[in-house]
Structure 1
Amino acid sequence: MLLDIDNLSLTITANGLVNPILDTVSLSVDAGEVVGLVGESGSGKSTTARAVLRLYPHTAAVEGSITVGGTEVLSASRDELHRVRSSEAAMIHQDPRAALNPVRRIGDSLTERLVHVLGVSRSDAAAAGLELLAAVGIRQPEERMRQYPHELSGGMLQRVVIAAALTGQPKLLLADEATSALDVTTQAEVLAILRDLQVQRGLGVLLITHDLHLAAAYCDRVYVMYRGRIVEELRGNDLFHGAQHEYTRRLLSAVPAIGHLPNSESRAS
């Protein structure tokens, strides 16, 4: 199993108060599999993804187990954690503009991990950056490498962020609302690229999303999270018709359907 989270509980202490965030969360992702994690905002989805890389406040108290590629993350040494973060798993963030340094060129963002973390020469790192930009569907990659983030569209920046996540050749991708800021057409293009790369490289993907239709169409399996707990696991194509838990059904019933939007008749007239 590429990713195995077992009975993960996490609390954060702030201002003398203990706040429970995650409660006995268990989920898994295998190589070559896309697994969705859905739920309303504040349910703990992003915290779960960050915990995989041990990215949580120092005031957090954590129990349970997180294994990435056979390495127990929660008890990993500094060197082991460095290896997991640099070459085993990578995160694709929701806002590409926030994920990229606005005063660094695109080429710098793509090559710095290769040069400073993995010890690749600058010439080889530049060649790898060009190859990755081409792989995520960016034309004229040589020109893009010299540009700054503000010179690229949101869709192109999201492709750059995906390319940057792939520089360490990770086996696991943690995609945290990676396409939610994009328009529908660009979202479909980026997801198609991500799927092609996932198939070609045999990646495991944990896709965090609030878009239930996307989860049903794109994911092999889907976990439903509510108030820090996993309440149901379904196959992607069973999400809309096989839900058993009351919360999942309520979540699905809240999804707007075309033709049933409020005041649609009055707007049409």
Structure 2
Amino acid sequence: MLLDINELHLSFVGGDEPAHILKGIDLHVAAGELVGLVGESGSGKSTSVRAALRLYGDEAEITGSIRVDGTEMVGADAATCRRLRAESVALVQQDPRAALNPVRRIGDSLAERLVRVHGKRRRDADERILALLTEVGLTQPERRMRQYPHELSGGMLQRVVIAAALSTDPKLVLADEATSALDVTTQAEIIAIFQRQIRERGLGMLFITHDLHLAGAICDRIHVLQQGEIVETLGRPGLFAEARHPYTRSLIESAPALERRAQS
């Protein structure tokens, strides 16, 4: 199992009483799986990802179990967490502009991790980045490597961030609202890239979104999150038909639908 979370509780210490944010989260992602984590803004989706990667400091109290590629993260030392974040798992963030240094060229930003963390020669790193930019569908990849983030559109930058995530050959990808700011056409293209990578590389992916219908169209299994608690888990077939929890039903029914006109 690439990601195995059991009874995960997260509280932030401060004030008179700790704030309980995550309440007994259970989810897992295996190789070749695309698993959805769905909920409204503030439900704890991104918090779950950051907790899984141990990105919170001493202000957070975490109990339960988080196993990434077989290694327990809860209680692990900083070196172990850094190694897993560098080698086994990659994060694709919602805002690609925030993930890239605005004053550095695309090629320099993407190659730095391969050179400094993974010890590759700069020439080898550049070749790897060039191949990945081509793989994720960027035109003129040599030119893109010489450009700055402000010179690329949002959809192009999202492809750059995906290439950066894939550059270290991770086993697990955590996609945190990675398509929510994109237009429908670009969103479909990014999702197709994700699906192809899962199919060809055998990646496991946790796809975090507020869009239940999008998750239902692409995910093997969906966890519905409300106020820091998974209230329902849906699997195929008959994903939406099997939804029973009122919150899940409200998410399904909140999607706009075109009125059907009576045929004359």
Q: TM-score, normalised by structure 1?
A: 0.94
RMSD over aligned Cα, in angstroms? 1.2
Residue 112 (1) aligns with residue 108 (2): no
Per the TM alignment, residue 247 of structure 1 is displaced from its structure 2 partner at its CA by 1.5
Unaligned runs of 5+ in 2: none
Residue 103 (1) aligns with residue 103 (2): yes
Match of 1:220 in 2: 220
Tell me the distance in 2 between the aligned counterparts of 1:220 and 1:63.
28
Q: How many residues align?
A: 260
Residue 83 (1) aligns with residue 83 (2): yes
Residue 62 (1) aligns with residue 62 (2): yes
Q: Secondary structure at the match of 2:83?
A: helix
Tell me the distance in 2 between the aligned counterparts of 1:139 and 1:245.
45
Match of 1:143 in 2: 143
Match of 1:23 in 2: 23
Could you tell me whether the CA contact under 8 Å between 1:218 and 1:236 is conserved in 2? no
Match of 2:155 in 1: 155
Tell me the distance in 1 between the aligned counterparts of 2:236 and 2:206.
13
AA of the residue aligned to 1:220: D
AA of the residue aligned to 1:135: E
Match of 2:47 in 1: 47
Tell me the distance in 2 between the aligned counterparts of 1:258 and 1:214.
17
Tell me the distance in 1 between the aligned counterparts of 2:209 and 2:233.
15
Match of 1:11 in 2: 11
Between the aligned residues of both structures, percent identity stands at 60
Deviation string, structure 1 residues 39-75 (Cα, Å, up to 9, x no partner):
1111111111111110124211110000011110112
Tell me the distance in 1 between the aligned counterparts of 2:51 and 2:42.
15
Tell me the distance in 2 between the aligned counterparts of 1:247 and 1:82.
36
Q: Secondary structure at the match of 1:111?
A: helix
Match of 1:208 in 2: 208
Q: TM-score, normalised by structure 2?
A: 0.95
Deviation string, structure 1 residues 188-221 (Cα, Å, up to 9, x no partner):
0111111111211100000000111110111000
Deviation string, structure 1 residues 93-122 (Cα, Å, up to 9, x no partner):
001111111001100121111001001110
Could you tell me whether the CA contact under 8 Å between 1:12 and 1:57 is conserved in 2? no
AA of the residue aligned to 1:254: S
Q: Aligned ranges for residues 252-263 of structure 1 at < 5 Å?
A: 252-259=252-259
Match of 1:124 in 2: 124
Could you tell me whether the CA contact under 8 Å between 1:32 and 1:199 is conserved in 2? yes
Unaligned runs of 5+ in 1: 261-269
Question: Once superposed, which parts of structure 1, at least 4 consecutive aligned residues long, lie more than 4 Å away?
Answer: none
AA of the residue aligned to 1:76: A
Residue 38 (1) aligns with residue 20 (2): no
AA of the residue aligned to 1:218: I
Match of 1:248 in 2: 248
Tell me the distance in 1 between the aligned counterparts of 2:142 and 2:150.
17
Per the TM alignment, residue 180 of structure 1 is displaced from its structure 2 partner at its CA by 0.4
Could you tell me whether the CA contact under 8 Å between 1:93 and 1:177 is conserved in 2? yes
Could you tell me whether the CA contact under 8 Å between 1:171 and 1:204 is conserved in 2? yes
Could you tell me whether the CA contact under 8 Å between 1:216 and 1:238 is conserved in 2? no
Tell me the distance in 1 between the aligned counterparts of 2:231 and 2:78.
33
Could you tell me whether the CA contact under 8 Å between 2:213 and 2:252 is conserved in 1? no
Residue 192 (1) aligns with residue 192 (2): yes
Match of 2:175 in 1: 175
Tell me the distance in 1 between the aligned counterparts of 2:193 and 2:60.
36
